[in-house]
Structure 1
């Protein structure tokens, strides 16, 4: 990739929160975003893996019969300029970061990140892989990207299993950056002791510690469909409406069509969804599904406990990796 680090006035990230999704990364972003010496864009950037259809199926779409995608190769300097522009407001911050939770699982991301940002510090949060998969499913339901049961989703959407496969992807980052540039936290530790976890992160980033208040540690609590089957039926319509939101990534699409799509999407999320999402917890996972995932995801994460230097079976129920 073209090196922007020497360009006058360009500020690029000192750290990246690279995943995993549904493991507390939004809460970590929310807290670090309140630190006076840290600059963080509001939304996920999704730059280094935007052209990866495995981790970003929403970024590969058909427009007027033509396949469209995002090009982040070195032959697309305008994409690099777009990336750098995300951090322009934070030129004077002591530490600048970004949060893109799919970087962990992209085969291309580690090399691309290292090429542009060889000294960047990576941060990853990991969660009980079975619970993470279930949480991702309900996130996809809430955002109208699925209209099927959890069991059907497991057979049709490989990203749910991929998102709970940590060990091989962590090894890639450790090989690219070394242990001094890779910080891994466990979600269950983070939720139990946010202050200690944040102290660990700020020390790692080399910025002053921050004392957390209740307001700083509270973030949006997830809501769930009161009637899951009805919500899935509604999503058969909703997923066509919300698909357009991903087509304007990196300024890809604009004009009247995008404006109409944005209006429909806004109405879906602010008028339709609130009437459907009134439960505070999801229905329990089927026991046979949980048993299958525990066995399967333990195998896919073989060696993870050794990689992190702790016995994860004491934290994650049934885990044997």
Structure 2
């Protein structure tokens, strides 16, 4: 049987509800989705995935995920094999939206794919991603410094140019945008619009299911950042064998150390229900800057986003 690849992709943005949408669609009888994010089309992008890169004896170690790499392509196809008999197969990789290499690669392998992108108040999205990086041990500094050092924080909230790229490649009829705020306020109507876009039967949202991410935050940010500094090498091991195509990084000892770090040590610091609030001066700056980066987004989506996102003027 020939390999099957995704019919649709949930391509981002990070921290905009994609995990929850994935959870719901995965319950649809006509849809199959691999459990986690695959990142096949941008695994070699140092901006979206700096954690996938290593240096060994002065040599840069990275993935070769060109379509000519049969091993990597085979590993990608294998992720969808369990769903080969289903009408629709999807993939959820949240960095595709702001990767500059992913769109053309997706078009080359999946020319008729449908793309779903979830957007959120760009300031809240960036701040939420920062806390995700904190909790996963990938930053060792406060938000104001991370804005300068972690390019994905700003790029992940720069929606307009990347949406335009996908629309130009695939056509507006194959690109669907969903606002996180709409999803939160009326998930049933939002879900109906998604299943209609995919051309499959509507489904009822299970209101009793706990499908929005429940998360905890550090009670002491300085303590968490210090812990991250100590454990920064352990964090790298987590991403060393993406798609299980590379030998050597995934030893049993390293996996055991990683498990103990993130399941026993790290949770000791994560007890708060909410993150620390953003500095008002930082929020004001980002609201203005990200509005400028997304100037014309309201026109593209044919919706006044200033009514949804605080201080947004794009």
Fold shared by both chains (TM-score > 0.5): yes
Kept after mapping to 2: 8 A contact 1:59/1:69: yes
1:261 CA displacement: 1.6
Q: How does 1:74-85 map to 2 (within 5 A)?
A: 74-85=67-78
Residue 319 of structure 1 pairs with residue 312 of structure 2: yes
Which residue is 1:160 aligned to?
153
Q: 2:247 aligns with which of 230, 246, 254?
A: 254
Which residue is 1:242 aligned to?
235
Q: How does 1:138-217 map to 2 (within 5 A)?
A: 138-216=131-209
For the residue of structure 1 that corresponds to 2:231, the secondary structure is helix
1:63 CA displacement: 3.1
CA distance in 2, matches of 1:160, 1:257: 28
Which residue is 2:64 aligned to?
71
CA distance in 1, matches of 2:271, 2:245: 34
1:253 CA displacement: 3.3
For the residue of structure 2 that corresponds to 1:229, the secondary structure is helix
CA distance in 1, matches of 2:250, 2:43: 22
CA distance in 2, matches of 1:107, 1:257: 29
Q: 2:116 aligns with which of 106, 118, 123?
A: 123
Which residue is 2:91 aligned to?
98
1:136-172 Cα shifts (integer Å, max 9, x gaps):
0000000000111000101111111111000000000
1:225-253 Cα shifts (integer Å, max 9, x gaps):
01111011001022211211111012243
1:46-98 Cα shifts (integer Å, max 9, x gaps):
00111111111111111344210011113312111111111000011111000
Which residue is 1:43 aligned to?
36
Following superposition, which runs of at least 4 residues in structure 1 exceed 3 angstroms of deviation?
252-257
CA distance in 2, matches of 1:61, 1:218: 35
Query: If the length of structure 2 is used for normalisation, what is the TM-score?
Result: 0.97
Structure 1 portions without partners, runs of 5+: 1-7
Which residue is 1:3 aligned to?
none
1:209 CA displacement: 1.1
Aligned length: 314
Tell me how large the CA RMSD over aligned residues is: 1.3
CA distance in 2, matches of 1:94, 1:53: 34
CA distance in 2, matches of 1:219, 1:286: 26
Structure 2 portions without partners, runs of 5+: none
Q: Which moved more, 1:68-77 or 1:222-231?
A: 68-77
Kept after mapping to 2: 8 A contact 1:15/1:122: yes
When residues 10 and 75 of structure 1 are mapped into structure 2, their CA distance, relative to the original with a 3 A threshold, is: closer
Kept after mapping to 1: 8 A contact 2:44/2:62: yes
Query: If the length of structure 1 is used for normalisation, what is the TM-score?
Result: 0.95
